[in-house]
Amino acid sequence: MAMVKRLQEFLDSHGVKYEVTPHREAYTSQEIAAAGHVSGKAMAKVVMIKRGSGFAMAVLPAACKVGVDRLETVFGMSGIAIAREYEFAGLFPDCDTGAMPAFGNLYGLEVYVDEELAKCPRIVFQAGNHHELVTMSYADYSRLVQPKVAEFCSHA
User: What's residue 156's pLDDT?
Assistant: 60
Q: How many CA atoms lie within 13 A of 74 on its CB side?
A: 23
Q: What are phi and psi of 30, to 5 degrees?
A: -70, -40
Tell me which residue range forms the domain holding 113: 5-154
| Strand ranges (E), the chain | 18-22, 44-51, 54-61, 65-66, 81-82, 111-114, 122-126, 132-137, 148-150, 153-154
* CATH number of the domain encompassing residue 45: 3.90.960.10
C-alpha 122 chain-centroid distance = 13
Structural domain total, the chain: 1
Tens-binned pLDDT, residue by residue, of the chain (156 aa): 578 999 999 999 999 999 998 877 776 777 777 777 776 677 899 999 999 889 999 999 988 899 999 999 999 999 999 999 999 989 999 999 889 999 999 999 999 999 999 999 999 999 999 889 999 999 999 999 999 999 999 876
Cα dihedral value 36, 41, 45, 50, nearest 10: 170
pTM of the model: 0.91
- Rounded Cα distance between 156 and 145, Å, is 28
